[in-house]
Amino acid sequence: MNLIRVAALAQKEWREILRDRLFFSLSFVVPALLMLLFGYGLSLDVENIPFAIHDLDRTPQSRDYAYRFIHSRYFDFKGYVTGEAQAQQLLGQGSVRAVIVIDRNFGRELSADRPAHVQTLLDGTFPYRTQVTKGYITAINTAVTRELLADYMVRVKGLSPSRAQDAVDPVRLEVRYLYNQGLKSSWGVASKLIMALLLMCPPFLTALGVVREKESGAIYNIYASNATRAEFLVGKLNPYFCIAFINAMVLWAMACFLFGAPFKGSATAFLFATVLYVLCSTGIGLLISILVGSQVAAMIVTAVVTAMPSMLYSGLLTPVASMNWTARGVAAVFPAMYYGRIIESCFLKGLGWGNAWGDMLVLAGYGAGLFAVGYAMFHKRGKT
Amino acid sequence: MEAAGFVKRYGKVEAVRGLDLAVAQGELFGLIGPDGAGKSSLLKAVAGVLSYEGGEVRVFGLPVTTEAGAEAAKAHLGFMPQGLGRNLYGDLSIEENIDFFAKLRLVPAADLRERKERLLGMTRLDRFRARPMKQLSGGMKQKLGLVCTLIHAPRLILLDEPTTGVDPVSRRDFWTILHELLSEGGVTALISTAYMDEASRFDRVALLYQGRALAVGPAREVAAGTPGVVLRIRPEVVGPGEIRVASSVGLSADRGGLAAAEEPGAQASSVSSAATVPRAFEAPDALELLGARYASVRGLGREVRVFVPGAADEGAATAALHALLGGAGIGFSITGREAADLEDVFVCKVAPHHADAPGGTGGPGGTDTPATSDTPELSGLDWTRDGGAPITPIISGASGEPARQADEAQGLAIHARGLIRDFGSFRAVDNVSFSVKPGEIFGLLGANGAGKTTVIKMLTGILSPTGGAGSVAGADMLRGGRAIKERIGYMSQAFSLYTDLTVAENLRLYAGVYGLNRRLAAERVVWAIKLAGLAGRENALTASLPMGLSQRLALCCALLHRPRILFLDEPTSGVDPLGRRLFWDILRRLSRRAGVAVLITTHYMSEAEYCDHLALMYAGRVVADATPEAMKAALLADAGPMLEVDVDDPHRAVAALRAAGFAEAALHGGSVHAQAGPGEARERGAAVAAALVAAGVNVRAVAQTPLSMEDVFVHRVLALEAEEAGAKGARA
Amino acid sequence: MSAASLDGILGSGRAARLRIWLRRAWALTVKEYIQLFRDTVLVLFMAYAFTLDVYVAGVGVNWQLNNAGLGVHDADKSTASREVAGRFRAPYFRNLGSVATREAGQRLLDQGGLMVVLDFPPDFGADILRGRQTAIQMQVDTANSAIGSLATSYGGEIVGRYGLERALNVPELNVDKIHGVPFIIDETRAWYNQNQEDSWFMALAEIISNMTLLSILLPAAALAREKERGTVEQLMVSPLSPVQILAPKILAMGSVILAGLAAGVFAVVIGVFHVPARGSLLLFFAVSALYIAFTAGIGLLIATIARNLAQVGMLTVLVFAPMIFLSGAWTPPEAMPSWMRLLMDCLPMHYMLDAGFGILLKGQGVGELWRELLGIIGLGAPILALSLWRFRRQFR
């Protein structure tokens, strides 16, 4: 490995990148812009669920009950509906996600200390949303039931109000949200976005690097010189690695300072893991570039192989642990999962080296593997 | 460098079949041959960037058989791949490109500084060192490529077609620089070229054909290896009636719809009297006849240059020509005799390989033939059109007022009036005016970057002019875009074909693009495949075709809709002589038989000779607009005769002549060509000889040699450059 | 031959002109098809994107709380504590056993071995028996907030239910057996996807995402390649209008994408996951065709902006990533801030998703989809027009 040659190759690459103004600016703007957009926009905290109420009862009791939902911050009341058909139409349009149907005898039954019926119609298209909505509704219903029961016990069984309160709610669940106290997903999302965006953007930077020179013929300068394959790969990767690493730092800063994600863990561990991860993600692009024959194919392969999985299988939206084995297999093929775990422990869990070394080892091996395959597949003395 | 039994296969195709070649140290060795002969394969293999299937290649005694083996030799090698500046980095400046190559080759900083200054100075690139490569002209790119290849002082340099696509002045410049660099000693050079006339610049050449070496040796010896006589003749026609006979002999009959009155010959006879037979119709017919018999025939304006192989002397050759042309009623006078050059020899050597039945009647060159041969079938080019504006083949180049008025009445094919195009503050085309008549081949010449392509782009409607007007095919250039596009054919350098489509698919595409119905499209595609000489290769990917064939295919694509006007932008760049000749056969027929006007740009000055009319562009302006003959005559009057000086030390002779004021003195094979200055040939010859003797050069002979278009081009452009430099100096 | 000449054909009226127009466009369409299918790598990856990728996404990616690792720190070890802990079970939770100390629990949470730790106080059982309110501590790893909140929600439900059973003093809360007390009995029905199959949602979202990606990228790359190689100049010199040059690209790539979509829908979405296809499949493909055509307009617009394929790549990421994230394919619109939802209303893919779910799951017809159709056309048409305008301007 001759450093002068590596430097020459890297410098040339730098100059070309710097002079393609649009490309150069996009290489920084795209990740930052996406971070901004997703950091604010990408959230799984389902709130303000639009819903409607179909009150068949129209008694004070039913109205009281309805107000429990109308005043909840989780729900966004869109109005009363007058019939089944309208409910169906609103759900179909997606203008409400839930319709609460209060039974005709709701008030009468409750007044008679009998169970009252309500029915909840949910838009089931997006199961996650449906589950969360259902959870909110159940929680509100449980709360209402407790109040009714407590009131009943005071009236009928003569318990004191506080005793009644204890009796209907004997076990409280005190939830401690670890790592993310406010249950604000923008924290979790912002830190995980570093991982996803670093798998989405850098491969596109490198994907055309080699195949472009193959198409133009400039690759012959390398073929015909004494520059070794390793020198070429390292020199080629250098600027893209630097750009991607700067991007990683920018994204990190955005996550911490803009989105307030707490960085509690070891900075050196994070830095080291980031170096490895960026090497892997730029390496994937470079490997594609070495393997394919045309720029168009390089683009499509990169898009299909990295852009989609970086979001879907990286654990950004749904944890890898809850995937089935097929998807887990796919996830294991990408470096994102490993880096994601490191990010999690460095950001939210406040841990460091001791916790992350295993994943780092995997990343290092991954990077080395990419490099080895690239090295083996890149020939200075081709067949055509 | 030596190669023994070298074999290279691409898939099942054997590109090189057992080549043996040895190049001695310090030698300047040329690889000459058509496309697909194996030149590039050999160069790449020597450079260690291409694996091969058989034999062995050794460089400085080191075997280049494995990737590791190749590495050992690479430190001493400089390799410049084919393609104008394609291995350079467009966004990097001249200096940055050089620095990159130097660092890649681990050149110490001090050496780099010194070498860079010297090379930049020699190539006169030093003024532009901060300019990005992509903004350089073709000639400058090539010089930069050379500098980058030489920056690490390699002991063996490999250049793959370094002068393809470069204008004659830059080409001459390139060779001068290369000679200077190599004369410093020790460096071996292996260079491939598609220009036969460059063969004389090598110490030794190898004629490659179909992966084998046909001949190896000094260019002169190789040329002398095939006996024969080159004659320049001027055909003279006995009467118009006989012309018609001649034309129908040369051609197989076209489809029946052709009205006899529209035959060019008939037209000629009805318009002109026998006394003023237009030359446009005499030389081609003689050409066709000669072309049908002899492999190496070149039309030079009114004259025809023909190589009669096997003829012992001038008498025998003349007799043979008489026998051939006399039968068709064509008489001729002999205007000159020349030595056979490499192109003659090459074409003759190759022709037998090509054809099973030499001297057939269907095609020219005795090369017509089996279905798989790449010989075009020219019949069917004699279309004429009905409907629309009457474009009948008319007489071009005729002098005299009545003829000119007739031309105007019939309409010009192209008429540019004061075209201007600015790119930002740079004026690429400055007030360009010219006109092209139907049936005329109009050559647009100029150095790289003179504005030729921009003019064509404006006329074809891809680029809107900043100023000026024009009409194309009878429609206004600014408003009649659509109508113009229906009537023209366009072919740009190598970009018109989709390389991932097959031959037939490309043709079908363009048939559809030009709106031909299914029956007609199928018919024309068959026709075009025959015309392109691609029968049997319909399903080959275009990317796999050699340059010459793909260019011919591109031309055929542009002909499918039978356009009235053809725009050809460097259509033959990188095509070997044989391919170029076949290409021009098609063009000539098109113009003569179908009355198609052809606007063509080229860097091959031998092709400029074929044009009816030329316009020379310089820095966006048209600086000369005349027939080739008129241009030569003007040069003769202006700068005197061209002398060929046979000396014992050509390099020193060139230097001496330049020092003595013969600025354009240049190496030409083993001898020196010098523009002698205005005056009588003998007297100027004496002056040249005196200058040489004074410099201590031994002069063996001085002879006048005919002026070529290349001489005209080089002289005009150098004069203009000097003028410009002078003007700049005066301003400063 | 004279009758066959172009001028002759052109002479005969409007119908003939149209025929020639179509013939020209068709010739270019055929060219695009050939080029597309000749690139084996490309075809393979397209096939992958529409079938295998959709399958993996549908079968593997999961929004449910599935077997979340649970640890129990039980300082009480009473029947009650065991009873409550036992209720944290499959499919949501998986009890991985007890942890000796809180610190051990914390460590396991840190390492990611556990997601939830339940902490029972020492006199948990006694308090329950005495009717005194007591509390369980539940530590949840909410690094992934979606799953974290689901775990919390289910935990609350389990404990709440247990509490009500204690209060009513019944061994099991069976709504049919509750009498004589005021009580809200809620019956929940999830429409359109009764069994809450994640695969229905994921498969459809994935196939529409891939369709969008390819609809942008293929035309963009094809046009950018022609620009880089210079072949587009040849086309401009031919008697072709910009529409004739661009429309074949949309037609060829679009039809191939549509074919891929059809294969994916029939083989995977319906074939493997049994998505019911309640509405008209014909309508679904018609809307998809419309969507593909307009999305291709985005690709063409990118190609008119970019000078080389590298720029095409970056611009595609810039456009595609927000589309896929913010259109509702992966995150519910209800989770977005309001300004983001305005942005979402500007994404054609959002309307396509709604239309796709609407037709296949909800069984909607044109009458109910007017908003989606308006969105697809209203957003797509101007983009297509803009790309056409830019293309025309670039080559004039």
Cβ contacts of residue C335 below 8 Å, gap of 6+? A43, A44, A45, A46, A47, A185
DSSP calls for A202-239: HHHHHTTHHHHHHHHSTHHHHHHSS--HHHHHHHHHHH
In a domain, C7, yes or no: no
Name subunits touching A (3+ CB pairs < 8 A): B, C
Other C-beta atoms lying within 10 Å of the C-beta of residue A257: 10
CB contact under 8 A, B464 and C396: yes
Chains A–C, number of C-beta pairs less than 8 Å apart = 434
> Which of helix, strand or coil describes residue B153?
coil
- In one-letter notation, the amino acid at residue A12 is K
In a domain, C13, yes or no: no
Task: Encode pLDDT of C334-346 as tens digits.
Answer: 877 788 888 888 8
Residue that is last in its domain, among C150, C177, C204: C177
Residue that is last in its domain, among C116, C145, C177: C177
- Contacting C with CB below 8 Å, chain B residues are 255, 257-258, 383, 385-388, 457, 460-462, 464, 482, 485-486, 488, 490, 492, 495-498, 500-501, 505, 508-517, 519-520, 523, 561-562, 567
* Contact present, A18 and A27 (Cβ < 8 Å): no
Do A330 and A213 lie in one domain? The reply is: yes
| pLDDT at position B673 over 50 | yes
Other C-beta atoms lying within 10 Å of the C-beta of residue B275: 5
- Compare CB distances from B81 to A4, A20, A220 and report the shortest one's residue: A220
Residue that is last in its domain, among A103, A136, A168: A168
Percentage of chain A lying above the pLDDT 70 cut: 96
pLDDT at A371: 93
Q: How many angstroms separate the CA atoms of A218 and A348, rounded? A: 47
pLDDT at B367: 34
Do A37 and A65 lie in one domain? The reply is: no
Do C276 and C223 lie in one domain? The reply is: yes
pLDDT at A181: 55
Considering only alpha carbons, which residue of chain B is nearest residue A232? B104
Tokens linked to B272: 């002109």
Do A29 and A146 lie in one domain? The reply is: no
Quick one: C293 exposed, middle or buried, by C-beta within 10 A (0-12, 13-18, 19+)? buried
> Which of helix, strand or coil describes residue B503?
helix
Confidence of residue B427 (pLDDT cuts 50, 70, 90): confident
Do C131 and C83 lie in one domain? The reply is: yes
Other C-beta atoms lying within 10 Å of the C-beta of residue C52: 14
| pLDDT at position C9 over 60 | no
Percentage of chain B lying above the pLDDT 90 cut: 10
* Most confident of the ranges A209-218, A246-255, B351-360, C105-114: A246-255
Helical H segments across B340-391, by residue range: 342-354
In a domain, C187, yes or no: no
Task: Encode pLDDT of B100-145 as tens digits.
Answer: 999 988 899 999 999 899 888 888 888 888 888 888 877 888 889 9
Average of per-residue pLDDT across C278-305? 95
Task: Encode pLDDT of B390-399 as tens digits.
Answer: 333 333 333 3
Do C219 and C168 lie in one domain? The reply is: no
- Residue to substitute from C159, C161, C183, interface A, most A β-carbons within 10 A: C183
Which position has the higher pLDDT, C149 or C303? C303
Average of per-residue pLDDT across B524-532? 89
Do A151 and A215 lie in one domain? The reply is: no
Please identify which residue in the block is written with the tokens 């129209």.
A58
Range of the domain at C107: 68-177
pLDDT at B503: 92
Do A105 and A202 lie in one domain? The reply is: no
Do A221 and A87 lie in one domain? The reply is: no
Do C80 and C47 lie in one domain? The reply is: no
CB contact under 8 A, B513 and C9: no
| pLDDT at position B28 over 60 | yes
Average of per-residue pLDDT across B654-665? 81
Average of per-residue pLDDT across B155-162? 90
Do C129 and C239 lie in one domain? The reply is: no
Which position has the higher pLDDT, B280 or B223? B223
In a domain, A355, yes or no: yes
Return the minimum-mean-pLDDT range out of A22-31, B289-298, B434-443, B511-520.
B289-298
| pLDDT at position B655 over 60 | yes
Average pLDDT value over all residues in chain A: 87
pLDDT at C376: 94
Do C267 and C391 lie in one domain? The reply is: yes
In a domain, C8, yes or no: no
In a domain, A383, yes or no: no
Task: Encode pLDDT of A262-286 as tens digits.
Answer: 888 888 889 999 999 999 999 999 9
The reported pTM is: 0.84
Residue that is last in its domain, among A116, A133, A168: A168
Do C72 and C56 lie in one domain? The reply is: no
Q: How many angstroms separate the CA atoms of B460 and B450, rounded? A: 18
In a domain, C365, yes or no: yes
* Most confident of the ranges B10-24, B188-202, C358-372: C358-372
pLDDT at C246: 92
pLDDT at A180: 57
| pLDDT at position B13 over 60 | yes
Do A102 and A231 lie in one domain? The reply is: no
Considering only alpha carbons, which residue of chain B is nearest residue A16? B91
Residue that is last in its domain, among A168, A198, A218: A168
Task: Encode pLDDT of B286-328 as tens digits.
Answer: 777 787 788 788 776 667 888 888 777 888 888 888 888 877 7
| pLDDT at position B31 over 60 | yes
- Compare CB distances from B385 to C5, C20, C34 and report the shortest one's residue: C5
- Over B181-213, what HEC string results? HHHCCCCEEEEEECCHHHHHHCCEEEEEECCEE
* Contact present, A297 and A217 (Cβ < 8 Å): no
Do A159 and A201 lie in one domain? The reply is: no
Do C224 and C311 lie in one domain? The reply is: yes
In a domain, A56, yes or no: yes
Q: How many domains does chain C have?
A: 2
Q: Report the CATH number that the domain containing residue A135 is assigned in CATH.
A: 3.40.1710.10
| Any B CB within 8 A of A21 CB | no
Task: Encode pLDDT of C92-111 as tens digits.
Answer: 888 888 888 888 888 888 77
Contacts B75 to A, Cβ<8 Å: 226
Smallest CA-to-CA distance from B42 within B11, B16, B75 is with B16
| pLDDT at position A200 over 70 | yes
| pLDDT at position C303 over 60 | yes
pLDDT at B401: 37
Backbone angles phi, psi at C194, to 5 degrees: -55, -40
| Any A CB within 8 A of C78 CB | no
Percentage of chain B lying above the pLDDT 70 cut: 84
Confidence of residue B264 (pLDDT cuts 50, 70, 90): very low
In a domain, C319, yes or no: yes
In a domain, A269, yes or no: yes
Contacts C20 to B, Cβ<8 Å: 515
Q: How many angstroms separate the CA atoms of B703 and B705, rounded? A: 6
Do A148 and A106 lie in one domain? The reply is: yes
Q: How many domains does chain A have?
A: 2
In a domain, A384, yes or no: no
Average of per-residue pLDDT across C244-273? 94
Do A285 and A366 lie in one domain? The reply is: yes
As beta bridge partners, residue B422 has B427
* Most confident of the ranges A342-351, B132-141, C41-50: C41-50
Return the minimum-mean-pLDDT range out of A42-51, A52-61, B415-424, B512-521.
A42-51
Average of per-residue pLDDT across A132-139? 91
pLDDT at B406: 40
In a domain, A178, yes or no: no
Do C130 and C55 lie in one domain? The reply is: no
Do A250 and A356 lie in one domain? The reply is: yes
Do C78 and C160 lie in one domain? The reply is: yes
In a domain, C301, yes or no: yes
Average of per-residue pLDDT across A160-187? 75
Q: What is the DSSP letter of B699?
A: E
Task: Encode pLDDT of B140-152 as tens digits.
Answer: 888 899 899 988 8
Return the minimum-mean-pLDDT range out of A184-193, B471-480, B616-625.
A184-193
| pLDDT at position B272 over 60 | no
Average of per-residue pLDDT across C142-151? 77
Do C47 and C169 lie in one domain? The reply is: no
Cβ contacts of residue A335 below 8 Å, gap of 6+? A199, A277, A280, A281, A362, A363, A366
Average pLDDT value over all residues in chain C: 86
Average of per-residue pLDDT across B505-517? 90
Average of per-residue pLDDT across C339-356? 89
Range of the domain at A253: 3-43+184-377
| pLDDT at position C158 over 70 | yes
Do C51 and C105 lie in one domain? The reply is: no
In a domain, C233, yes or no: yes
| Any B CB within 8 A of A10 CB | no
Q: Report the CATH number that the domain containing residue C102 is assigned in CATH.
A: 3.40.1710.10
pLDDT at C50: 94
Please identify which residue in the block is written with the tokens 């893991």.
A273
| pLDDT at position C314 over 50 | yes
pLDDT at A243: 95
pLDDT at B378: 65
Average of per-residue pLDDT across B357-376? 38
Do A245 and A109 lie in one domain? The reply is: no
pLDDT at C357: 93
